[in-house]
Amino acid sequence: MALTLNGSANTIGGLAVGGVPDGTIDTDALAANAVVTGKITDATIATADLSAGVAKGVAKAWFIADNDGGSQAGNRNSWNIDSWTDHGTGDISVTFTNDFANVNYVAVGVMDQSAWNFRWTSSTSGSGYATMLMTSDRAVGSCRMQFVTTSGSMQDAAGWTYVFFGD
Amino acid sequence: MAQVIIYTNDAGGASITKASTGWTGTLDELAKKLNLSNYEIVDESKVPTERTFRNAWVKGSGVVTEDVTKSKALAHNTRREKRAEEFKPYDETISLNIPGTDTSAAETSRAAIRTKYATMQTNIDNATDIAGIKTALGG
């Protein structure tokens, strides 16, 4: 199609895709708010495109898995998790698909378990043991987690849920 | 059947690694990422599913098994914990000498508990397999 200029309507017709080379139109040439999210393909927005303040608030990895990892790591659901290792009773680790920039990241976890296991009691009545969730051996590419009773022994739980924030 | 990576960990036990659905490489490549050198890739069916004695799992040739000696040690820990729990109310009665309580009855109850768990200890020691140890524990 030939290029047409309509001086009355102030329009240009016949412009092919790519007809306006990169660098021809800059931000100043666009009306305010001319580009809306509906015009942006989801995949084009990466974490790196987010402002630092927003990016830091987005979880970099997470998983929810059965105690033994099921047939696959993060077998119920996961993000940025490559693998899941069962080291023993109440003792697991995960590896990240994309590593953290440093080990100063936050790991937050909770266990699926009967309520009595979370009672912070002295157990004098035999009602239960206090337990705690520990994050150990934290590396940029992996994190090891343990579920420990106050007596120092590890224990299994019905499931693990963890979220990781950091650079 | 899904496959898993098995290897002997630093504590001498068996570690089992599973790939996520997001992992696009092979399990050998995953093992390399984990810096594993002495590992095997096996069907998940080669790993026990019953976890009572999870810390007694050891890596064999192409399989993870429950070590009987280690399982007995774990069973004795469980036995001692159970016994301590049963002792506790009677220990308090005796040690605190609570007025209005019958300390001699508490001593009698403690003796019965000692006998019960001494029998359990013997049965655990005499067990020749994992099923026997679990039976001795009352499970």
Of A79, A95, A151, the CB nearest to B34: A95
Interchain pair B11, A88: CB under 8 A: yes
pTM (whole model) above 0.95: no
The distance of B119 to chain A (nearest Cα, Å) reads 23
* Arithmetic mean of pLDDT over chain A: 81
Check residue A121 and give its pLDDT. Answer: 40
Confidence of residue B128 (pLDDT cuts 50, 70, 90): very high
Whether the predicted pLDDT of A116 surpasses 60: no
pLDDT value at position A99? Answer: 95
Q: Is the ipTM of this complex over 0.85?
A: no
Interchain proximity B20–A124, CB inside 8 Å: no
- Given this model, what pLDDT does residue A122 score? 40
Strand order in the sheet with B14-19: A131-136, A142-149, A91-96, A81-88, B14-19, B3-8, B39-43
pLDDT, one tens digit per residue, over B43-52 is 999 999 888 8
Question: Does the beta-carbon distance from A126 to B89 stay under 8 Å?
Answer: yes
Measured distance CA(B26)–CA(B28) in Å, rounded: 5
Other Cβ atoms closer than 10 A to A147: 22
Q: Which comes out higher in pLDDT, residue B67 or A128?
A: B67
pLDDT at A126 over 50: no
- Read off the pLDDT of each residue in B100-107 and give the average, rounded to a whole number: 76
Q: Taking residues A103-119, report their average pLDDT.
A: 72
Measured between CB atoms, which of A83, A126, A151 is closest to B18? A83
Kindly identify which residue of chain B lies nearest to residue A127, measuring between CA atoms: B85
Q: How confident is the model at residue A114 (pLDDT cuts 50, 70, 90)?
A: low
A116 or B55: whose pLDDT is higher?
B55
What average pLDDT does range B82-106 have in this prediction?
78
User: A92 to chain B: which residues are within 8 Å by CB?
Assistant: none
Judged against a pLDDT cut of 70, whether residue A153 lies above it is answered with: yes
Chain A contact set for B30 (CB, 8 A): 82-83
pLDDT computed for residue A150 by the predictor: 67
Quick check: B18 and A84 CB within 8 A? yes
